Amino acid sequence: MFPTPEVRSVHYEKVYEPSEDSFLLLDCFEEEKPYLSTKFTDKTSSPVVVEIGTGSGIVTTFIQQNILPQGIYIATDVNPHACRAVLDTAKVNAAHSIDTCQMSLTSAIRGNSVDVLVFNPPYVPADDVPAIPTTEDDETWLDLALCGGPEGMDVTWKVLDELDSTLSQQGAAYILFCARNKPDEVQEKMRARGWVVTEVLKRKAGWEVLSILRITRQ
Ligand SMILES: C[S@@+](CC[C@H](N)C(=O)[O-])C[C@H]1O[C@@H](n2cnc3c(N)ncnc32)[C@H](O)[C@@H]1O
């Protein structure tokens, strides 16, 4: 079992605290290490790993340290406090080659350049997806971590709909769902669009059932 990165000095009133979903992603990547190591076996090139909505940075730091140390890492978040937190977490864990950029989803990432895409989205069903605050000291940044619209899928579908122009040819996306997101229906829809979809992990976490799908091209 690989060590869990240390997360220090994160202001949890503004940045998502590592939780069951974050730890499920760590377990997922531990399980996926043989698959990813084989896929990106070429020691002369570095896979581009992008985590959308990095929060504390625990997931990106874990992958860099334990799964794909040769990767180039960009940890994004729309929340500026999270962008600072990931740099702190990377530093505390001596995880080099992690950079951050504040953006919505993958809006500033070059098309078809992402080899590994990771997203633990705001998946909780809620009336609306909150508006993005306009000032750093706004009290509502944390709401963006949770509320995903009526089925908790508003933000996730934006990423799924853009996957073809985000992933490289050999790219793989890892996306987390709760049962209320209807991940079985998502699998069917993505397969109908020609994607290969594999459920990597599924686990009961409190009253939620969380799962992670790996999505790749044929
Ligand atoms: C459930 S949290 C996951 C945090 C972290 N990845 C983890 O697993 O602990 C969701 C994250 O997505 C971010 N987020 C929400 N909407 C976003 C958007 N449109 N673009 C980028 N990040 C977003 C939130 O700020 C939050 O950090």
**183-204 residue pLDDT tens:** 999 999 999 999 999 999 999 9
Residue 10 has pLDDT above 80, yes or no: no
- DSSP letters for 136-197: TT-TTGGGGGTB-STTS-HHHHHHHHTHHHHEEEEEEEEEEEEGGG-HHHHHHHHHHTT-EE
pLDDT at 72: 96
Q: What average pLDDT does this structure show over 6-13?
A: 85
* Helix and strand counts by DSSP (H, E) for the chain: 6, 7
Q: What are phi and psi of 70, to 5 degrees?
A: -85, 5
pLDDT at 45: 77
Pocket residues: Cβ below 6 A from ligand 1? 16, 18, 21-22, 25, 52-56, 58-59, 76-79, 82, 104-105, 120-122, 144-145, 155
Determine which helix (DSSP H) or strand (DSSP E) holds 88, and give its type and residue range: helix 80-92
Q: How far is the CA of 81 from the centre of ligand 1 (A)?
A: 11
Q: Could you report the per-residue pLDDT of 69-122, keeping only the tens digit for each? A: 999 999 999 999 999 999 999 999 999 889 999 999 999 999 999 999 999 999
Q: Which of 120, 147, 166 to mutate to test the pocket of ligand 1 (most atoms within 8 A of CB)?
A: 120
Burial status of residue 169 (CB atoms within 10 A of its CB: 0-12, 13-18, 19 or more) = exposed
Q: Could you report the per-residue pLDDT of 34-67, keeping only the tens digit for each? A: 999 999 987 667 999 999 999 999 999 999 999 9
Q: How far is the CA of 120 from the centre of ligand 1 (A)?
A: 7
pTM, to two decimals: 0.97
Q: Which domains does the chain possess?
A: 20-216 (3.40.50.150)
Q: What average pLDDT does this structure show over 4-15?
A: 89
Share of the chain above pLDDT 90, in %: 93
pLDDT at 44: 63
pLDDT at 129: 97
Residue 5 has pLDDT above 90, yes or no: yes
pLDDT at 11: 84
**Range with the poorest average pLDDT among 11-15, 84-88, 153-157:** 11-15
pLDDT at 43: 66
Which residue puts its alpha carbon closest to atom 23 of ligand 1?
Answer: 53
Q: Which amino acid appears at position 105 of this protein?
A: L
Q: Which of 20, 50, 79, 177 to mutate to test the pocket of ligand 1 (most atoms within 8 A of CB)?
A: 79
**How far apart, in whole angstroms, are the C-alpha atoms of residue 57 and residue 97?**
13
